[in-house]
Amino acid sequence: MKDLRILGIDTSGKVASVALSDGEKILWEKSVYTKLTHSQVILPMVEQALAESGYELSQIDCAAVSDGPGSYTGLRIGIGAVKGMCRGCEGLKCAGVSTLLSLAYNCCGFTGRIISVMRARPDISYVGEFDGGAKAPVRVSPDRVAKDAEVFEGYDTSVPVMLVGDNAVFIKDRYFKNDENVIVANAACVLQRASSLCLAAADSEDLITTADKLEVSYLQATKAEKDKAHSQKQEEEK
């Protein structure tokens, strides 16, 4: 796995991020906190990554993409882009990587508990917990969507804790404001980075798949599903 050329694409949140690795180093990376839609910026960034690194898409072994949780629209854009690239380039594999796992890879050098936390709704977060200190984060809980209070009130901080993700600052301020054993990842690492997708895909052969099997993991019902359920409930109550 370490000799694979991996193209990383993250469109799961506010940041659009693209990276390219060759198994030994990150050859190229760009992350943009943009008001434009990911559909407008992500493919030009992929073209720029390939051009400036001196590669053709046909020379890439795997396209790694964040498969959730995150923005419904953003995730679909990233997954759709990778599916399109795989179908247009014979031999290109793909990897769907948990956004929360990818965020934990941002903090690989941290010894302690890494908690990836992304805002889902007010007072509700997507949460993934990992042990740091090893070469790669070790998962200690499945990705889940949960009420903040249920996860963080009374959380054991006898072991150092690193919070990472777009809800990290909020959780720190609300639940651990005066706890020096809980810190927030620095500005360079607190949000999604495509290079971390490359690292995660390189570390786990189980993530490598084909375009037809690549799917989004929302962890909660989409708006369309919620609207449908609400309509069905109203019909049943009539």
Domain ranges of the chain: 6-99+191-223, 101-184
Tens-digit pLDDT profile for residues 200-220? 999 998 999 999 999 999 998
Q: Indicate the pTM of the whole model.
A: 0.92
pLDDT at 236: 54
- Token pair recorded at residue 65: 């993409």
CATH number of 101-184, picked from 3.40.50.970, 3.30.420.40, 3.30.420.200, 3.40.50.300:
3.30.420.200
Cis peptide bond N-terminal to 69, omega within 30: yes
**What value does the mean pLDDT of the chain take?**
92
Is 101-184 in the same CATH topology as 6-99+191-223?
yes
Domain 6-99+191-223, CATH class in plain words:
alpha beta
Tell whether the model's pLDDT for residue 179 goes beyond 80.
Answer: yes
pLDDT at 36: 83
